[in-house]
């Protein structure tokens, strides 16, 4: 009897099974037809005939089945793609200065009379006070904690205060320095980190409502290295949600130069609070302007290092081929000191390269071949007069400026690289519908960009990256006759090009508009040659005093 039942069920299965499979397929396929393919052709700028569409139909359906299968893996943000970006041009031999750094640190510094004056001192100056016993790290940390309590409600740059941790680290720094243990120029210096860097035991919110309670049980390499250097972690700082702008899930970070104006982003809190004297320096990151822009808006110095220089282990991934981490400080010298503590391989970030770094505080800039982007400086843009004055300062210092022009490629064709990688990094957010929790829901914000990027064909993304290879090769050809070059911070295509090629940039303040807001100029260099870029911009800064101006309402 059981055998007869089994045979009967088998026959019924053979009879009904195909119908069930057809029914399930109809549901999963959502009735994909040749007409849908024809409509998609319009989106992608293609045209096929009826016979071709008919042949494509099964393949299109099979591809989508594959999409569903991969989605089931629930891949987290910290998983790298197997295809890694390499910024080094084909056949290029990287050669950078490996001589010992000449930091040009001050030998004698007198403690100012007021805490606010102390708060605006550079890392280099504070280091002298700590080592001569005029100031302790605990005192300095408390000065900054008091200023955070007083001023952050206005600026809205702190997401998570790490006061207890800071005081413990400061006390340890004082004990070590008193015992003759000196970890270097950052020992005992308080700082803040952009809240896309994980710090074990504390939330890492990425500035976005869907992640406001997220805790990542590891500490980012950059924060680990700063701890090893003896630095004191004060706070995790605001970033525009998922690294765009200055609006985060619980606030709108302002510039201390005008609190009616946003700090720009995405390293909003890092730039704003450093500029306002709420910490000695901060760590920011850039994918496409997120160090350059807030450094400009807040009058700070920002270093965007070469791609592949600073580990992104423990950092939120937005674009695996474009994300860079760097310091935001009050001087170029400070930026060099911080960079020296955080750069280099860690065996965790697979994109890092091992090249030396050397800074020369006494560089004779007349020995350099210095380029400038002639067409950009000659164009009609808002800060032109300030930039012309900066070029004059460099000429007075002995620079012979060489006109150069950057490669001309259809730059709008590269936009899909960032948007597709970002959409991939946060695909789960889009698929779950939790992107509706994001504060900014306008067209020009991540939720809409993520959704729109779903319609970029994989072929076009790969083609954009092949064009990027051409850009890298052409950029190398342009720079073969100069050691370093200068550009407006925003006029022209330099900001986009260098973020795509991975070349380093240093942005420094170079004046103030009539409304009191700071402006900036940018120094750029060869891959992995931060030393020359920093040394030249330091020479410029020594000849000017824009970086010594502080927001009046916060002094």
Q: Residue 176 class from Cβ within 10 Å (0-12 exposed, 13-18 middle, 19+ buried)?
A: middle
For 372, the enclosing helix (H) or strand (E) is strand 370-373
Q: Is position 82 annotated as part of the catalytic site?
A: no
In 3D space, the residue among 469, 461, 471 whose CA is nearest the CA of residue 417 turns out to be 461
CB 226 within 8 A of CB 190: no
- Phi–psi pair at 366, nearest 5 degrees: -70, -15
Q: Which of 266, 272, 331, 505 is catalytic?
A: 266
What is the spatial distance between Cα 139 and Cα 137, in angstroms, rounded to a whole number? 5
Q: Is position 416 annotated as part of the catalytic site?
A: no
CB 554 within 8 A of CB 276: yes
Q: Which of 290, 295, 416, 505 is catalytic?
A: 290
In 3D space, the residue among 347, 372, 418 whose CA is nearest the CA of residue 536 turns out to be 372
Q: Is position 2 annotated as part of the catalytic site?
A: no
Q: Which of 101, 137, 193, 194 is catalytic?
A: 194
Instruction: Give the β-pairing of 281-286 and 190-194.
Output: parallel
- Give me the helix-helix angle, 332-342 and 123-131, nearest 10°: 80
Measured CA to CA in angstroms, residue 366 lies from 363, 432, 539, 543 at distances of 9, 58, 11, 14
What is the spatial distance between Cα 342 and Cα 315, in angstroms, rounded to a whole number? 14
What is the spatial distance between Cα 149 and Cα 137, in angstroms, rounded to a whole number? 18
What is the spatial distance between Cα 3 and Cα 104, in angstroms, rounded to a whole number? 92
In 3D space, the residue among 496, 523, 350 whose CA is nearest the CA of residue 411 turns out to be 496
CB atoms under 10 Å from CB of 287, counted, come to 21
What is the spatial distance between Cα 533 and Cα 407, in angstroms, rounded to a whole number? 20
- The DSSP call for residue 518 is E
325: left (phi over 0), alpha (psi -120 to 50) or beta: beta
Could you give the residue numbers annotated as active site? Answer: 194, 266, 290
């Amino acid at each position: 009897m059981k055998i007869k039942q089994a045979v009967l069920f088998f026959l019924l299965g053979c009879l009904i099974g195909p119908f069930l499979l057809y029914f399930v397929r109809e549901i999963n396929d959502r009735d994909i037809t040749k007409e849908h393919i024809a409509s998609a052709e319009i989106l992608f700028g293609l045209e096929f005939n009826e016979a071709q569409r008919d042949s494509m139909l099964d393949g299109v359906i099979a591809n989508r089945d594959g999409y569903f299968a991969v989605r089931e893996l629930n891949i987290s943000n910290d998983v790298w793609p197997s295809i890694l970006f390499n910024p080094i041009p084909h056949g290029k031999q990287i050669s950078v200065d490996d001589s010992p750094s000449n930091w040009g640190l001050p030998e004698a510094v007198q403690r100012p009379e007021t805490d606010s004056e102390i708060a605006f001192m550079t890392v280099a100056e504070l280091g002298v006070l700590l080592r001569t016993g005029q100031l302790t790290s605990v005192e300095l940390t408390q000065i900054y904690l008091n200023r955070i309590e007083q001023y952050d409600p206005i600026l809205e740059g702190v997401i998570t205060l790490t006061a207890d941790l800071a005081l413990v680290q400061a006390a340890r720094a004082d004990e070590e320095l008193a015992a003759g243990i000196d970890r270097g120029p950052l020992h005992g210096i308080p700082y803040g980190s952009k809240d896309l860097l994980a710090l074990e035991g504390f939330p890492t919110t990425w500035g976005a409502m869907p992640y406001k309670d997220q805790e990542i049980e590891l500490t980012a390499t950059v924060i680990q290295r700063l701890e090893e250097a003896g630095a004191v972690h004060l706070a995790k700082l605001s970033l525009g949600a998922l690294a765009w702008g200055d609006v985060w899930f619980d606030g709108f970070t302002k510039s201390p130069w005008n609190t009616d104006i946003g700090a720009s982003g995405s390293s909003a809190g890092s730039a704003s609070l450093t500029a306002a004297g709420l910490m000695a320096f901060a760590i920011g990151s850039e994918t496409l302007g997120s160090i350059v822009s807030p450094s400009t808006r807040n009058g700070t110095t920002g270093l965007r290092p070469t791609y592949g220089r600073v580990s992104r282990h423990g950092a939120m991934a937005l674009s695996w081929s474009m994300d860079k981490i760097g310091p935001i400080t009050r001087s170029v010298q400070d930026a060099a000191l911080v960079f020296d503590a955080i750069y280099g391989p860690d065996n965790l970030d697979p994109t890092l390269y091992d090249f030396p770094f050397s800074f020369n505080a006494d560089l004779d800039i007349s020995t350099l071949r210095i380029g400038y982007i002639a067409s950009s400086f000659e164009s009609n843009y808002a800060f032109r007069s300030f930039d012309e004055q900066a070029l004059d300062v460099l000429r007075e210092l002995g620079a012979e400026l060489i006109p150069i022009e950057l490669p001309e490629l259809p730059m709008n064709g590269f936009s899909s690289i960032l948007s597709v990688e970002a959409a991939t990094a946060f695909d789960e957010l889009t698929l779950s519908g939790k992107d509706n929790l994001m504060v900014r829901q306008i067209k020009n914000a991540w939720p809409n960009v993520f959704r729109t990027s779903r319609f970029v064909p994989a072929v076009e993304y790969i083609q954009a990256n092949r064009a990027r290879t051409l850009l890298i090769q052409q950029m190398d050809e342009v720079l073969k006759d100069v050691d370093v070059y200068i550009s407006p911070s925003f006029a022209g295509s330099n900001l986009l090009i260098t973020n795509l090629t991975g070349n380093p940039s240093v942005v420094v303040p170079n004046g103030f508009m009539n409304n009191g807001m700071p402006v900036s100029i940018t120094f750029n260099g060869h891959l992995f040659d931060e030393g020359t870029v920093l040394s030249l911009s330091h020479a410029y800064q020594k000849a000017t005093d824009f970086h010594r101006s502080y927001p009046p309402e916060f002094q």
